[in-house]
Amino acid sequence: MSATVFGLCGAVVAGFGLYGLITEPHPLRKILSFNLLGAGVFLFFGVVARRGAAAGFGGDPVPQALVITGMVVAFAATALAAALLLRLFSVAGTATLSDANTNSTGDDSTDP
Amino acid sequence: MGGSLLVLSIVVPIVGLLLAFAAGGRQAERIALATMPIGLAMAAAIAVTIRQAGGPLVYLLGAWAPPLGVALRADGPSAVMMAITAVVVCAIGIFARADFATPAGAAEARAPLAFWILLLAVWGALNTVFLGGDLFTLYVALELLTFAAVPLVSLDGRAETLRAALRYLLFALLGSVLYLAGTALLYGSWGTLDIVLLSRLVRAEPATIVAVALMTVGLLAKTALFPLHIWLPPAHAGAPAAGSAVLSALVVKGSFFIAVRLWFDVMPALPGPTAAQVIGALGAAAILFGSIVALRQERLKLLIAYSTLAQIGTLFLMFPLAYDAAATQLESGGALTGGMLQAVSHATAKAAMFMAAGLIYEALGHDRMAGLAGIARVLPIALVAFTLAGVALIGVPPSGAYVAKSLLLRAADGTAQWWWAVVIQAGGPLTSSYVLLVLAHALVPTRKPITPCAPVPRIREAAALSLALISLLLGLFPWRAYLPVSPEALSSPITLDALLSSLWSILVGGLIAILMGRCDIPLAGVPGGVISLADRARRAVFVVTSRVMRVDGALRQWPIAVLALLTVAICFGAAMLAAR
């Protein structure tokens, strides 16, 4: 029962994160959304550990080992993203992802 | 003996990386360059050992067998990818020495230290990708690869490259979270993530199908298969030349390789015919779309970046072609070999192209297509390298791409899927169109001589040229020892028919370039009637290509890209559920 509740919570949190990644334009909010999405997936790992506990154990240890690795990776990713964002802010003065001045789609106005 | 080689090939780049980090600035370059021959030798040793053993090499970490432990496995395809990675890394190392040197007396800078460390990190991560025998090991390797690749984009620290790096990182992270969610589902269903054990257990259950759909789409986002290429053009075009070569030649192959592992090794029976057609259709769209957008670029590096987009599409054509309708599963046969050969030849050729473009940028101070005139006189070897790499990609015998193309065509014939044969045949002319467009701009006769901004050492041109030559001669290598292919499929590579057909595709490519390419070239000596006729056709085509450019701009908007990603995931899930 509790596993189902946690699973549903994980799905809801992951859904919030995904929604944030799509709709939030600011990179910092995107980074936070990614962390929400990750947290949802990590919760799901917890549910998986619970499901494998049929053999008399309190929980399957392997998903817990996996989720700790996953958290370390997500932490490192967040740190890298935050460092890039800070650097971008100090170089450009703003921190937007839209590349209005570096439009690489080419110039549509030139006629052959 | 063989097993410890596998561990060493991961450990050596990482030890080099740590030493370079600890020793700092001036020593980093020397340590990286000293690591390279060792890594190359080990890749060669693994290839030889696999050939002698006649089967995969396995190493159990800590002697714990799966499912409790984690295994490293090297089969034929991993040996091939490791060898080509080592070769490309060594060439890039030679090429990058001038860009990222710390001369005696000069102050130590951050960029050279970062570059050499990141190059070794990419290498170590890629070797882990090729050797990992466990889906979670592959996840960690994939993340290491991304973390090493992202800073390569923004080595120069300009705002636009930082933006490109951040975009790349965020989109790649979305992809890896989806992959991680997939591994959680798989572990929950089957209790193991070991590739061999999973392949025996796995059946088409809804949770497994959702897992495979999520993992596949996560990997495609990292490989930048159309329409998930939001990050690729600015990242690959903005990085310094050596960085672009690493990113375009090697990094995208990492996630591609895991996708191949997932579909061919873990669950060949699961995807079913429709999902294979969907992934092939994305590849075909990438070829057409990437080539058209490449032809409209004003800058050489962006042209090459979009050509990477098109070539990534070619890699995914093998999925539908490997599907065996009688066995209802993906067969590791000629089509797989064709796809892997395409990956290998693209790795070498694209690294050569980005190196040549970097030299051109250095000599001219810019890489605008319109300003390339006269470059042939200043940098003849670089231009020859670019051309040969292009020729290799077009599929002129005996290049690797030619063998790949003939294997894929054979598979299309064998599985009666003529539409993929059409796509494969169209790839040659489309590739030659943008190569010819660059050549046309570079060979425009010009009166005023170019004085290069900086002298270009011959060794850098030689590094690019040697990679292009390797790509051009890859077809002659005895692939049968490493890749699953029947002997008659690898018949003598050079026939008159093959040469004629590649000539034909170059001619058609020329026509496409004339119709669709940016034209800043003065045309002298061409009759006026022909010009006005061509102008009318170009105007008509221009309307179409402008639409394509607008679609590209829209697809590279963040919300649309994420929605496209979810749509692709749902398509895969639905296709696999329907095939159940």
- 3-state SS record for B324-378: ECCCCEECCCHHHHHHHHHHHHHHHHHHHHHHHHHHHHHHHCCCEHHHCCCHHHH
- Backbone φ, ψ for residue B304 (5° rounding): -65, -35
* CA–CA separation, B258 and B139 (whole Å): 9
Q: Which of A25, A45, A97 sits opposite B167 (nearest CB)?
A: A97
Instruction: Lowest mean pLDDT of A25-29, B79-83, B303-307, B443-447, name the range.
Output: B443-447
A101: pLDDT strictly greater than 50: no
Which 551-580 residues of chain B touch chain A by CB within 8 A?
552-553, 556, 558-559, 562-563, 566
B401: pLDDT strictly greater than 70: yes
The one-letter code for the residue type at B124 is G
Nearest chain B CA: its distance from A106 CA (Å): 6
Section B144-165 average pLDDT: 93
Query: Which residues in chain A touch residue B293, judged by CB atoms under 8 angstroms apart?
Result: 105-106
Q: Are strands B71-74 and B329-330 parallel, antiparallel or unpaired?
A: unpaired
B296 has a chain A CB within 8 A of its CB: yes
**Structure confidence at residue B541 (pLDDT):** 86
Query: Which residues in chain A touch residue B553, judged by CB atoms under 8 angstroms apart?
Result: 103, 105
Contact assignment for A30 to B170 by CB distance below 8 Å: yes
The one-letter code for the residue type at B181 is A
Task: Quote the mean pLDDT of chain A.
Answer: 82
Q: Which of A21, A60, A69 sits opposite B562 (nearest CB)?
A: A21
B546: pLDDT strictly greater than 60: yes
Closest to B20 measured CA to CA, from B100, B76, B135, B131: B100
Task: Quote the mean pLDDT of chain B.
Answer: 89
Section B60-79 average pLDDT: 88
Nearest chain A CA: its distance from B114 CA (Å): 14
Instruction: Lowest mean pLDDT of A50-54, B66-70, B249-253, B393-397, name the range.
Output: A50-54
* CA–CA separation, B199 and B193 (whole Å): 10
The one-letter code for the residue type at B539 is R
B447 or B59: which carries more pLDDT confidence?
B59
Is-contact B175 B221, C-beta < 8 A?
yes
**Structure confidence at residue A103 (pLDDT):** 41
Phi-psi region of B315 (alpha: psi -120 to 50; beta: other; left: phi over 0): alpha
Contact assignment for A108 to B160 by CB distance below 8 Å: no
Structure tokens at B102: 């710390």
Which residues are within 8 A (CB) of A107 and not within 5 positions of it... i.e. 6 or more apart?
B298
Confidence of residue A5 (pLDDT cuts 50, 70, 90): confident
Mutation target to probe the A interface, by most A beta carbons within 10 A, among B166, B292, B293, B549 is: B166
Contact assignment for A27 to B233 by CB distance below 8 Å: no
Which 59-88 residues of chain A touch chain B by CB within 8 A?
60, 62-63, 66, 69-70, 73, 76-77, 80-81, 84-85, 87-88
Nearest-Å Rg of the Cα atoms of chain A is: 20
Which 2-41 residues of chain A touch chain B by CB within 8 A?
14, 18, 21-23, 25, 27, 30-31, 34, 37-38, 41
**Structure confidence at residue A56 (pLDDT):** 60
* CA–CA separation, B148 and B13 (whole Å): 13
- The ipTM of this complex is 0.90
**Structure confidence at residue A108 (pLDDT):** 37
Contact assignment for B159 to A91 by CB distance below 8 Å: yes
* CA–CA separation, A84 and B476 (whole Å): 45
Contact assignment for B558 to A97 by CB distance below 8 Å: yes
Is-contact B361 B367, C-beta < 8 A?
yes
The residue of chain A nearest to residue B161, with distances taken between CA atoms, is: A88
Question: Percent of chain B having pLDDT more than 70?
Answer: 98
The residue of chain B nearest to residue A102, with distances taken between CA atoms, is: B160
**Structure confidence at residue B118 (pLDDT):** 95
Contact assignment for B136 to A66 by CB distance below 8 Å: yes
Confidence of residue B330 (pLDDT cuts 50, 70, 90): confident
Phi-psi region of B374 (alpha: psi -120 to 50; beta: other; left: phi over 0): left
DSSP class of residue B132 equals: B
**Structure confidence at residue B579 (pLDDT):** 83
Section B303-322 average pLDDT: 94
Q: Which helix (H) or strand (E) holds B213?
A: helix B206-223
Helices B159-190 and A27-51 cross at an angle (nearest 10°) of 10
Which residues are within 8 A (CB) of B382 and not within 5 positions of it... i.e. 6 or more apart?
B355, B356, B359, B360, B456, B461, B464, B465
**Structure confidence at residue B255 (pLDDT):** 95
* CA–CA separation, B203 and B551 (whole Å): 39
pLDDT in tens, B47-57: 999 988 888 88
Contact assignment for A31 to B170 by CB distance below 8 Å: yes
pLDDT in tens, A31-74: 999 999 999 999 988 888 876 555 566 678 888 889 999 999 99
Instruction: Lowest mean pLDDT of B111-125, B147-161, B323-337, name the range.
Output: B323-337
Contact assignment for A106 to B234 by CB distance below 8 Å: no
Section B510-532 average pLDDT: 75
Section B242-253 average pLDDT: 94
Please report, to the nearest 10 degrees, the dihedral formed by the alpha carbons of residues A54, A57, A59, A64 taken in order: -120
Query: Which residues in chain A touch residue B154, judged by CB atoms under 8 angstroms apart?
Result: 84, 87
The residue of chain B nearest to residue A10, with distances taken between CA atoms, is: B181
The residue of chain A nearest to residue B185, with distances taken between CA atoms, is: A48
Structure tokens at B534: 């061509």
Structure tokens at B413: 């014939």
Q: How many CB pairs under 8 A join A and B?
A: 137
A104: pLDDT strictly greater than 50: no
Contact assignment for B162 to A91 by CB distance below 8 Å: yes
Per-residue b/e over B29-53, b at no fewer than 16 CB within 10 Å? Answer: bebbbebbebbbebbeebbebbeee
A109: pLDDT strictly greater than 50: no
Mutation target to probe the A interface, by most A beta carbons within 10 A, among B118, B146, B180 is: B180
**Structure confidence at residue B521 (pLDDT):** 64
* CA–CA separation, B114 and A28 (whole Å): 25
Contact assignment for B188 to A51 by CB distance below 8 Å: yes
Closest to B493 measured CA to CA, from B427, B426, B395: B395
Q: Which of B140, B163, B546 sits opposite A88 (nearest CB)?
A: B163
Mutation target to probe the A interface, by most A beta carbons within 10 A, among B173, B289, B541 is: B173
Q: Which of A52, A66, A80 sits opposite B191 (nearest CB)?
A: A52
Confidence of residue B245 (pLDDT cuts 50, 70, 90): very high
**Structure confidence at residue B524 (pLDDT):** 63
The one-letter code for the residue type at B194 is D
B227 preceded by a cis bond (ω within 30 of 0): yes
Q: Which alpha helices (DSSP H) does B24-103 contain, by range?
A: 25-53, 76-96
A92 or B246: which carries more pLDDT confidence?
B246
Section B233-261 average pLDDT: 94
Q: Determine the 3-state secondary structure of B475 from DSSP.
A: helix
Is-contact B315 B441, C-beta < 8 A?
no
Is-contact B363 B493, C-beta < 8 A?
no
Place of tokens 């299309």: B412
The one-letter code for the residue type at A101 is N
Confidence of residue B89 (pLDDT cuts 50, 70, 90): very high
* CA–CA separation, B261 and B253 (whole Å): 12
B104 has a chain A CB within 8 A of its CB: no
Contact assignment for B160 to A99 by CB distance below 8 Å: yes
Question: Percent of chain B having pLDDT more than 90?
Answer: 57
Structure tokens at B470: 């390797």
The one-letter code for the residue type at B44 is A
* CA–CA separation, B230 and B508 (whole Å): 30
Is-contact B212 B270, C-beta < 8 A?
yes
Q: Which of B169, B177, B237 sits opposite A41 (nearest CB)?
A: B177
